[in-house]
Amino acid sequence: MPHWIDILIFIIYFLAMLAVGFYFANKHTDERDYYTGSGKLSASHVGLSVVATDVGGGFSIGLGGVGFTMGLSGSWLLFTGLIGAWLSAVFLIPRVFDWQQKRGRHFLTLPQVFGYLYDKKVALVAAVICIIGYTGFTSSQFLAGAKLSTAAFPAIDSQTMLWIMGAIAVFYTMLGGMKAVIYTDTVQWIILLGGLMLVAIPMSYYKLGGMQGILPYLSEDMLSLKNISWQQIVNWSVTIIPIWFVGMTLYQRIFACKDVKTAKKAWYFAGVLEWPLMAFTGVILGMMAKVAIEQNLVAVPGGTLNDVELGLPLLIKNILPIGLTGVVMAAYLSAVLSTADSCLMAASGNIVGDLIPKSKKKTQKSIIRLSKLSTLLLGILAILLASTMQNVLSLMLYAYAFMVSGLLVPVVAALILKKPYPLAALVSMLIGGGVSIGLIIAKTKLPYGLDANVFGLTAALLSFTLTALCCEKLLNKTN
């Protein structure tokens, strides 16, 4: 049974998050203010929010599991995040501001960008892809939070904790909008890094007997950065790097910046925080969890650890003293909430901004009320989906794969080509996203151990190219 001090820290933390939501509840002037903070947020706040959203609970828990099985080589998972962030800063961000200026008004969602670049049909399909993808992504965060909490507080079953976690994230996001998300993300990321680097790692290192106690339990492969296959590098790269070009949560933060310079600064900052800072912190804690179990310092329920993602929560529960357990668990739950709230905002923005027809009769207050309602309903749906899943990293990467396969090719085409091809964009989105999700649902065993996303992207690229060529031929004939 957890100590009352740890429980009290948990309660205070959650109440603080809800308080932020209530503080911003009635401070939204219009739809843009609710979804992008009116484009006036600083680079530091946006940068911390970007990395808090991208890494979040899914990668935090996932990194622990990868470190448990792969060792230091698992850090390459987030190296792809650094590459994606910096490539996006160089190639995407300037173009987004340029498109916005030419459009004559601000973007609120990624599908609005697709509507400007192509047409309404392409924007509609993009909205559906974003909603499905980010609902799944939100579910992965709720599942991560339930795993953490249940390992720390076994008296509460995972389903109950899932609903508690989900309700808190949904309500403060629904009430506070993007400002609540950005400011809570900033606090949550500081808590996360402080809790892990200044508390969890030093305390675990001490309890495990320092290097003399740790090294005998780790193989050379676990201590090497080369313990990784080329297939794994390809799978991670193809899934994670492109998300920086198609992630609705990331576009919302671009829109929240006042200019190109602010956005670029935020993205460079976020990249460094992902790798090496968070990457090695996560995998090292996963490795320490493995050592602690082999040293019999951590009691595993049933005697066998069937889910490696539970190793890290069990380490925190068994190694850290009273009070510090609550602090570090709150830090991990910070990561969970920081991603969940952003994904909810993204999906809600797609529904209100892209699916529901605009009407001149609607006031800004009615639009904000509608935005809050859609956030609430999507949050409930995400919790229900999470209740049917088991693996955090898998659920998260499935959502990534679907969005990347469906959205990346049209974005890259807009960056490279001088001429838009709406039909080609539409076909590539349907085929790319369809191939990825179809292979995932069918659980198809793919050649060379590659992920479904690789084949989805290939199909999207081929379909775009062939359709664009056909359009050019038809145009030349008519001329």
Q: Can you read off the two tokens belonging to residue 268?
A: 């460079």
Written as one letter, the residue type at 475 is L
Q: Which two tokens stand for residue 46?
A: 């946006």
As a whole-number percent, the residues of the chain with pLDDT over 90 amount to 37
Q: What angle do CA 322, 338, 349 make, to 5 degrees?
A: 155
Q: Say if residue 361's pLDDT is above 60.
A: no
Beta bridge partners of 257: 41
Query: Is residue 455 over pLDDT 90?
Result: yes
Q: Which tokens hold the place of 426?
A: 């539409």
How does residue 83 score in pLDDT terms, banded at 50, 70 and 90? Answer: very high
Q: Which percentage of the chain shows pLDDT scores above 70?
A: 89
Mean pLDDT for the chain overall: 84
Which residues have C-beta within 8 Å of that of residue 260, sequence separation ≥ 6? 93, 94, 97
Which of 7-16, 294-303, 384-393, 452-461 has the highest mean predicted lDDT (pLDDT)? Answer: 452-461
User: Could you tell me the two tokens for 370?
Assistant: 């509608």
State the average pLDDT over residues 84-93: 96
| Sign of the CA dihedral with 25 first, then 28, 33, and 39 last | negative
Going 310 to 65 to 61 to 9, the CA torsion angle's sign is positive
CA distance 311 to 89: 35
DSSP 296: T
Q: Token match 């049933």: residue?
A: 302
Alpha carbon 127 to chain centroid, angstroms: 17
**479 pLDDT more than 60:** yes
Least Cα distance to 201 among 99, 82, 283 occurs for 283
Q: Residue 335 has what pLDDT?
A: 66
Check residues 150 and 87 and name the one with the higher pLDDT.
87
Beta bridge partners of 243: none
What is the CA angle 57-92-355, rounded to 5? 70
Residue 452 in this model has a pLDDT that exceeds 70: yes
Amino acid 289: pLDDT: 92
- Across 60-74, 118-132, 318-332, least confident range: 318-332
Rounded to two decimals, what is the model's pTM?
Answer: 0.84
Cα 336 from Cα 156, distance rounded (Å): 18
Residue 359 confidence (pLDDT)? 61
Tokens of 458: 């290939």
Q: 83 or 365: which carries more pLDDT confidence?
A: 83
For the cut 60, the answer to whether the pLDDT of residue 360 exceeds it is no
Closest alpha carbon to 314 in 335, 293, 284, 332: 293
Condensed to tens digits (0 to 9), the pLDDT of residues 169-221 reads: 788 777 767 777 777 777 777 777 777 788 889 989 999 999 999 999 999 99
What Å distances lie between residue 397 and 133, 141, 219, 296, 329, CA to CA?
A: 10, 12, 28, 32, 24
Q: What was the pLDDT predicted at 217? A: 95
From 131-135, 140-144, 252-256, 456-460, the region with the lowest mean pLDDT: 140-144
Q: Which secondary-structure segment (H or E) carries 257? A: none
Confidence band for 292, pLDDT divided at 50, 70 and 90:
very high
Would the pLDDT of 56 be above 70? no
pLDDT band at 3 (very low <50, low <70, confident <90, very high): confident
**pLDDT for 31-45, tens place per residue?**
677 766 666 778 888
Q: Using pLDDT thresholds of 50, 70 and 90, give the confidence band for residue 57.
A: low
Separation between Cα atoms, residue 457 and residue 413, nearest integer Å: 13
Check pLDDT > 90 for residue 448: no
Task: Give the pLDDT band of residue 358 (cuts 50, 70, 90).
Answer: low
Q: 103-117, 214-228, 300-314, 335-349: which has the highest mean pLDDT?
A: 214-228
Which of the four pLDDT bands, split at 50, 70 and 90, describes residue 116? Answer: very high
